[in-house]
A and B are shown apart, each in its own frame.
Chain A
């Protein structure tokens, strides 16, 4: 009986140890790898870098869409993973249907959701909320007619995930999904 209790206590201690739960320490933020040097010194720095990376992403995507998606070579410099796949597929459709856009999307970074200082190469490192405004954008088909729906929202709030690409020493957009269908 005494042995069993001891074993239970040891198992509980092991669980506590694995969970990294020592009272007084933050619980949500993953512990940084002691061998890795954090890419950004602070949350503010991370947010600034994400804002800069997203500006580059937006510039490249708008340019591709306006040009009818004939040249996708720049896409890999700003996107990766899921988002690269999604945009490549969508742009293939744009090209096939002979669509093109005009105007450009404006955006505003709203808030940092998380910054994982211990994230390794090719892993999600920063997640931010970004409000995009497409009110100046029009999309045309081959005949020059607009295919924009009358119910398209002007603004939408997205959750945007960035991966750290060591080789490029840069942040790449790896995922972007609608966070709220309310205007922002």
Chain B
């Protein structure tokens, strides 16, 4: 008789321990500051930047109800065994922890070149990127969450061993008001004929906003996303190049 009573007692103690350990596990991530409580409301959202995506994570504890699913937006919650405590006027409430993840990936940009898909050995080939600031939207704990990606870095691997990282995406010769084969901030000169594979990777700076927060909150870190690969032929000693004037008249003209 004594042994049976003691075994029940152990079960309750273990149950109590589980409840306490769950509370403190949720606690580590769930601390709430006045700044959050008074601007957006808690829970706080933690942000993680992976090599290719931004992960927003939110967590909230809610008291258990007869139907835990009724309490939160995140679908079925774990069902807990009922816990009774042999002490008058005391009830133990098992929290149900709702946690949610939302993942956001930036769109890749595109790489372009002038002339298109060929270059002249010894002359500048102009590369430029097209990438725009864009917003990806999702849902976190039943409320809207968004991440805004802004392109900030462009890393070209020109295929001949040379690389260049710029803060500018570059632009066409026309837009820059330059002549064909002029040097630009993103142009490159190939020294040898051959086939080249040019790879561009665009670095996006992420910011996030949770539950219609009014301000974008910057996240440290840059997400690098590869753009399309360009394949181009460099012609050796091009015999014919269209130029503005005859080279004999204007020897310093573009292409001469």
Cβ-based interface call for A162 (8 A): no
Q: Would B39 and A149 count as touching, CB distance under 8 A?
A: yes
Residues of chain B lying within 8 A (CB to CB) of residue A87: 33-34
Once bound together, how far apart are the Cα atoms of A61 and B37, in whole Å? 12
Residues of chain A lying within 8 A (CB to CB) of residue B90: 28
Q: Would A27 and B38 count as touching, CB distance under 8 A?
A: no
Once bound together, how far apart are the Cα atoms of A29 and B212, in whole Å? 43
Cβ-based interface call for B42 (8 A): yes
Tally chain B residues at the interface, Cβ within 8 Å.
45
26 residue pairs bridging A and B, Cβ less than 8 Å apart: A19-B10, A27-B12, A61-B34, A65-B35, A87-B33, A87-B34, A105-B37, A132-B37, A137-B38, A141-B215, A147-B39, A148-B38, A148-B214, A152-B39, A152-B41, A156-B37, A156-B41, A158-B32, A175-B31, A177-B26, A178-B30, A178-B32, A180-B62, A180-B63, A181-B72, A182-B62
Once bound together, how far apart are the Cα atoms of A132 and B87, in whole Å? 29
Which residues of B does A touch, CB under 8 Å?
Answer: 2-3, 5-6, 9-10, 12-13, 16, 23, 26-28, 30-43, 60-63, 71-72, 85-87, 90, 92, 95, 143, 211-215
Given A101-B38, A147-B214, A179 and B9 contact (CB-CB distance below 8 Å)? no
Which residues of A does B touch, CB under 8 Å?
Answer: 12, 15-16, 19-21, 23, 26-29, 61-62, 65, 82-83, 85-87, 89-91, 93-94, 99, 101, 105, 132, 134, 137, 139, 141, 146-153, 156, 158-159, 175-182
Q: Would A153 and B41 count as touching, CB distance under 8 A?
A: yes
Q: Would A21 and B13 count as touching, CB distance under 8 A?
A: yes
How distant is A163 from chain B, measured CB to nearest CB, in Å? Answer: 13
Residues of chain B lying within 8 A (CB to CB) of residue A26: 86-87
Q: Which of B39, B62, B86 contacts A139 (CB 8 A)?
A: B39
* Chain A residue nearest in CB terms to B34: A61
Q: Would A177 and B33 count as touching, CB distance under 8 A?
A: no
Q: Would B6 and A23 count as touching, CB distance under 8 A?
A: yes
Q: Would A149 and B212 count as touching, CB distance under 8 A?
A: yes
